[in-house]
Amino acid sequence: MDNSSFGTLQPSSCAMSPEILHDIKPIWIAYLAISINIALCITAALGNILILVALQEDSHRLRSPSKLLFRSLASTDLAVGLISQPSFVMHLILTVRKQLRIWQITEGVVQISSAILCGISIFTLTAISVDRLLALILGLRYRQIVTLARVRGIIVTSWLVFPSFAMLYFWNRHIFMITLCVNVLLCLAVSTFCYMKIYFTLRYRQARVSQWCTHGQTSNSTRAQLVDYNKTVSNSLWIYFTLIASYIPFAMVQLVRTAYGDSPSIIIAEGSTTSLVYLNSS
């Protein structure tokens, strides 16, 4: 869902003015971003491969629909590390060298691949938060409502919708950027609602369990289930906080850029926040 770099979109269908690239200073920021993103490419690839292996071996802790969501997330983030991030690194190198002709090609590659892959990634993270909330509030009905077929349909739909959104890049880059920012903010809003609802529901249930424990009315299995679910939600919350830290700065920079246009400081800020977005996949 992210954007290119220290020089990317114009809020119109026109390319960015070449003079802006020559005005970007200090240039060491670009070299720092290159170094950071090379490291992120490696961690995204290796880390998500290990996650996929772990999900394959761990078959008892997560039900198939939940596991499918996590597997989809890891696969998408792996693709970010293999496609979007290396393209972003190349784009930064061309920015430093001021090679505009090839730079415009890598811009398109970064924009489109990031719109598709990071868009699906943040959408999947949102779906995971909804899945955790449904598991908490539906109880026994969860297995009837959240089925493997429905989750698979949601994943397939995301792979159809986000490439369609990315095609807006060729039509109108202004609308393209607004669409992506709206998607980011909408996903963050849904995730925030889900995790707040989960937090307050868990606090209420833990208070009830404590009361039952006092009167000896709860079983060991009930306490074990609650502890196990707390661990799952805790892991998801770490993902959520990383999501907020990664995408909120990026969305804010893009909104400012859409409103006020390009400048060297905005382009540098965009490159920095893009690296944060890629960090979310690492």
Residue 37 lies in domain: 18-279
pLDDT of residue 214: 58
Contact 151, 69 (CB under 8 A): yes
Residue 111: both structure tokens together? 């924009």
pLDDT of residue 49: 92
pLDDT of residue 187: 92
Which bin fits 190, alpha (ψ -120 to 50), beta or left (φ > 0)?
Answer: alpha
pLDDT of residue 195: 86
* Average pLDDT per consecutive 10 residues, the chain (282 residues; last block may be shorter): 39 44 62 86 91 76 80 92 90 78 81 91 92 87 89 94 91 86 91 87 72 58 62 69 84 80 72 82 78
The residue assigned the tokens 């109108």 is: 172
Asked, for residue 1, whether it belongs to a domain, the answer is: no
- Taking each helix axis from N to C end, the angle separating 28-57 and 264-279, rounded to the nearest 10 degrees, works out to 20
Report the domain count for the chain. Answer: 1
Asked, for residue 117, whether it belongs to a domain, the answer is: yes
Q: Which residues contact 51 (CB under 8 A, 6 or more apart)?
A: 70, 74
Write down the pTM of the prediction. 0.80
Asked, for residue 150, whether it belongs to a domain, the answer is: yes
pLDDT of residue 220: 59
Asked, for residue 4, whether it belongs to a domain, the answer is: no
Q: Which residues contact 32 (CB under 8 A, 6 or more apart)?
A: none
Asked, for residue 183, whether it belongs to a domain, the answer is: yes
pLDDT of residue 257: 77
pLDDT of residue 278: 86
Asked, for residue 12, whether it belongs to a domain, the answer is: no
CATH number at residue 188: 1.20.1070.10
pLDDT of residue 262: 67
What does the chain come to in residues? 282
Asked, for residue 172, whether it belongs to a domain, the answer is: yes
Asked, for residue 10, whether it belongs to a domain, the answer is: no
Distance CA 178, CA 280 (A): 21
